[in-house]
């Protein structure tokens, strides 16, 4: 099938049940969700290099720096059972576009074990875990943060993963009241098991924040490959160890994340032009995040026992070699701060780099 023959008629339509435009090349996971949704409905076209503008297509063209074929093949590999998919580069109005056509499937298709459906111009998940239901008598702070997360506007695939993880953490907190806050949400757990669980949940949430930053950087690099250009040196081995450019971008993004993984938010932002230019996290907010990540470091590497490094971030607040304990109420405050930070970064990244947002 030659999709070049179809492009004029495709661009005559508006986004809807059988058509979606993306201005840039999304990650394979995001493409997989869209193709899955089309396959479970009436089929459809995904056209890359086209922005939707007040209901009309705006032809912007797709960068030549990345191979959309490779990313698309990875997306199709995520689908089970695989539907019939055609994809190719086409030319229109002097611009290079990429068209992916998926046919309706007679069988239900999943992407990484999750099922999506096309409803009007949206991709919705079906047969997924029902919306989190919290206990009526549970801590209101859990419900409030969940509502806050659900209230965020549509964002990148990176943000979607972040929100899903935080919602799972909230469900665990709600279910395990007797371990985590048997006396009060404002009082730290007293049992050994409760203390360990609290440390694990908080550390996992902080790790997810760091993973988000890595994932959104990856989306920036993939959508705007020119942002990868720098004077930094890479070895031939670095390149040959990767199967394709997508994997190299992933490795390089995670390498750039190294400073953040050591707890240096300021160093990471200063060294990363893409994050710095978003202006989404000011100096005071960077300090706040560093303090939160230091708690994670203490929990992950010191079993919560306060050391001298930790006291530099919390002078006069804790005692050396004493156990640091955090109440559920305090934990949720810190998680909410990280979540709001992600929401700001995500909105700024979408606006500045035209990242593909998941409906």
SS3 299: helix
Whether residue 314 is predicted with pLDDT greater than 80 in this model: the reply is yes
Burial of residue 329 (number of CB atoms within 10 Å: 0-12, 13-18, 19+): middle
What pLDDT was estimated at residue 345? 95
Whether residue 279 is predicted with pLDDT greater than 50 in this model: the reply is yes
Query: What's the CA angle centered on 316, arms 315 and 319, to 5 degrees?
Result: 105
DSSP per-residue string spanning 303-357: TTB--HHHHHHSTTTS-TTSBP---HHHHHHHHHHHHHHHHHHHHHHHHHH-PPP
Q: What is the pLDDT of residues 332-355, one digit of tens each?
A: 999 999 999 999 999 999 999 888
Share of the chain above pLDDT 90, in %: 62
Domains in the chain: ranges and CATH? 3-126 (3.30.950.30), 140-353 (no CATH)
Asked if 294 and 308 count as a contact pair (C-beta separation under 8 A), the reply is no
Q: What is the pLDDT of residues 153-197, one digit of tens each?
A: 788 989 988 998 999 999 999 999 999 999 999 999 999 999 999
What pLDDT was estimated at residue 347? 95
Comparing 247 with 273, which gets the higher pLDDT?
Answer: 273
What pLDDT was estimated at residue 129? 46
What is the tally of helices (H) and strands (E) in the chain? 15, 10
Q: Which residues make Cβ contacts (< 8 Å) with residue 151, sequence separation at least 6?
A: none
What is the mean pLDDT of the segment spanning 71-86?
94
What pLDDT was estimated at residue 241? 75
């Amino acid at each position: 099938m030659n999709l070049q023959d179809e492009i004029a008629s495709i661009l005559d339509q508006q986004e809807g049940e059988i058509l979606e435009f993306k201005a840039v090349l999304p990650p394979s996971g995001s493409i997989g969700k869209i193709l899955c949704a089309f396959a479970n409905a009436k089929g459809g076209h995904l056209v890359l290099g086209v922005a939707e503008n007040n209901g009309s297509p705006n032809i912007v063209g797709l960068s030549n720096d990345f191979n959309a074929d490779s990313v698309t093949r990875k997306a199709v590999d995520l689908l089970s059972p695989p539907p019939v998919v055609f994809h190719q580069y086409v030319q229109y109005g002097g611009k290079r576009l990429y068209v992916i056509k998926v046919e309706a499937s007679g069988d239900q298709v999943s992407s990484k074990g999750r099922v999506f459906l096309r409803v009007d111009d949206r991709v919705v998940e079906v047969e997924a875990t029902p919306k989190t239901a919290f206990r009526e008598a549970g801590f209101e702070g859990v419900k409030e943060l969940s509502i806050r997360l659900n209230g965020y506007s549509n964002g990148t695939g990176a943000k979607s993963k972040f929100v899903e993880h935080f919602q799972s953490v909230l469900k665990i907190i709600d279910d395990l009241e007797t371990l985590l806050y048997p006396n009060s949400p404002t009082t730290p757990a007293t049992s050994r098991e409760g203390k360990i669980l609290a440390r694990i949940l908080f550390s996992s949430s902080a790790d997810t924040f760091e993973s988000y930053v890595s994932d959104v950087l990856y989306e920036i690099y993939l959508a705007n490959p020119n942002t990868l250009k720098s004077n930094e040196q890479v070895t031939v081995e670095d390149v040959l160890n990767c199967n394709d450019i997508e994997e190299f971008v992933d490795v390089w993004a995670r390498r750039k994340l190294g400073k953040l993984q050591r707890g240096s938010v300021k160093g990471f932002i200063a060294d990363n032009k893409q994050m710095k230019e978003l202006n989404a996290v000011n100096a005071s907010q960077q300090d706040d995040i560093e303090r939160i990540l230091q708690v994670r470091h203490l929990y992950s590497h010191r079993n919560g026992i306060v050391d001298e490094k930790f006291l530099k971030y919390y002078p006069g607040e804790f005692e050396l070699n004493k156990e640091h304990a955090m109440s559920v109420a305090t934990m949720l405050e810190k998680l909410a701060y990280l979540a709001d930070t992600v929401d700001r970064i995500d909105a700024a990244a979408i606006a500045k780099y035209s990242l593909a947002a998941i409906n």
